[in-house]
Structure 1
């Protein structure tokens, strides 16, 4: 029977020394089918830790439902609440995910996950974690500003043809894909690295980007799976996130362990 763990269990976790600031950790080559295995492992963690998963899934769901509700209430002026609401979501999202990573990490170590302990994950590398959350918010604000500028390409004539829409659609799609790819590349493994190995923010970002760069196919599949889970959540007014977000959170932890090489 696995025992309940405490903070002392994490004192032996490998760390990057201060002299190794902004180091790029090596990564493994992974298969295009691996993301589906991570998804299955995430589902298994959900089944094995239903109460903790329900707690974090509900937190994600409340945040998503709040955003959808605010947009709906604003009617013709959703832009007044979209940016502030998304900023809040981008701030709390990574820290909710930390709790999920903690649960998967505990199971890998043969320990019994504990809700209170998982909530303390936010404090294990708080400086780097908060810095990264702020970086995500800045990136999102930049993204919204770019979107506002691109809106100038939107046809001003009512009932415009698809040809007249083409510059807006093509430019917007290409720009959105590039920005989304960059954010995903620096973010997908950064939080797990900062949690388990207590690395600095630049080491986490460089290592995450390097792992995605060397595994473009599998990581594109994983990004699509994440987008699908998030879209399901918002399409169901947040209800779907009760299930999808824990699975994706656990799955990301397994993706991290499969992709970033362990310290020898």
Structure 2
């Protein structure tokens, strides 16, 4: 079956990003979320369930300290939820019907294109972050007197505990920033165009490099809204993920100078 849209070849030239660009993208994203709220709930539901399962496994195994690393690492896989939302925004933009079957069909077709390779990189970074987090925990807490960190949170207030938390947060932020830089516009680009994932990642990375202040501010906004959304049992993701997904599509379209 052919793609329902003609795909332009190669990465497009990406224009300048200003704070005004971000505000306009956010306005358009909010409008899309209000226009098609059901689709946002559908695509966010998978990640809400995933977050709840992750938290349950952590508590059930008695290793609650992993909630700290999960809270930092969980947003790394957030871009997966956006692919369907990009398609919804594209259909709204083009005045096409909001057909759930067709939208899922477009998302499913990505399995034959470049998205699986990008997904593998995101998963690898997520798992590697968990490995590094475990090493950091062992480095700073492994030499301490045997304590049940699941019930004795005071160990995190020791000098080793505070250093561990600080270093873990810094390393996690570095992983999140790198992932943000290579995916912020590459994911919508892969849906929109016939381009290999390496070229898309390079284009996304360079775009952030060329627009450091607004794009770093946008990264902080994403991090804050995602973290706050996870606090009420991950239920806030029903709001945060659709808003960020629709907005990211419009950010890409606003700075895309071709097509």
Partner Cα separation in structure 2 for residue 160 and residue 247 of structure 1: 35
Change (3 A) 1:199 1:68: same
Query: What TM-score results when the alignment is normalised by the length of structure 1?
Result: 0.79
Q: Is the 8 A contact 1:106 1:112 kept in 2?
A: yes
Partner Cα separation in structure 2 for residue 142 and residue 74 of structure 1: 21
Given candidates 170, 174, 179, the residue that maps to 1:178 is: 174
Q: Is the 8 A contact 1:190 1:205 kept in 2?
A: yes
Structure 2 gaps of 5+ residues are: 146-153
Equivalent position SS for 2:9: coil
Partner Cα separation in structure 1 for residue 156 and residue 115 of structure 2: 46
Q: Structure 1 residue 205: deviation in Å? A: 0.7
Partner Cα separation in structure 2 for residue 7 and residue 259 of structure 1: 27
In the alignment, which residue of structure 2 is the partner of 1:96? Answer: 81
Deviations 1:58-105 (A, max 9, x none): 33322222222322333336659x88xx79x93xx5443211000101
In the alignment, which residue of structure 1 is the partner of 2:225? Answer: 229
Partner Cα separation in structure 2 for residue 116 and residue 144 of structure 1: 36
In the alignment, which residue of structure 1 is the partner of 2:140? Answer: 153
Q: Is the 8 A contact 2:26 2:247 kept in 1?
A: yes
1:38 correspondence with 2:25: yes
Deviations 1:104-125 (A, max 9, x none): 0111112232222221233344
In the alignment, which residue of structure 2 is the partner of 1:20? Answer: none
The count of corresponding residues between Structure 1 and Structure 2 is: 244
Q: Is the 8 A contact 2:182 2:202 kept in 1?
A: yes
Structure 1 gaps of 5+ residues are: 1-5, 17-23
In the alignment, which residue of structure 1 is the partner of 2:116? Answer: 130
Q: Structure 1 residue 55: deviation in Å? A: 1.7
- Aligned alpha-carbon RMSD (Å): 3.0
Partner Cα separation in structure 2 for residue 94 and residue 163 of structure 1: 35
Q: Is the 8 A contact 1:25 1:261 kept in 2?
A: yes
In the alignment, which residue of structure 2 is the partner of 1:21? Answer: none
Query: What TM-score results when the alignment is normalised by the length of structure 2?
Result: 0.80
Change (3 A) 1:169 1:65: closer
In the alignment, which residue of structure 1 is the partner of 2:60? Answer: 73
Partner Cα separation in structure 1 for residue 177 and residue 155 of structure 2: 33
Deviations 1:216-240 (A, max 9, x none): 1111122122222322332111221
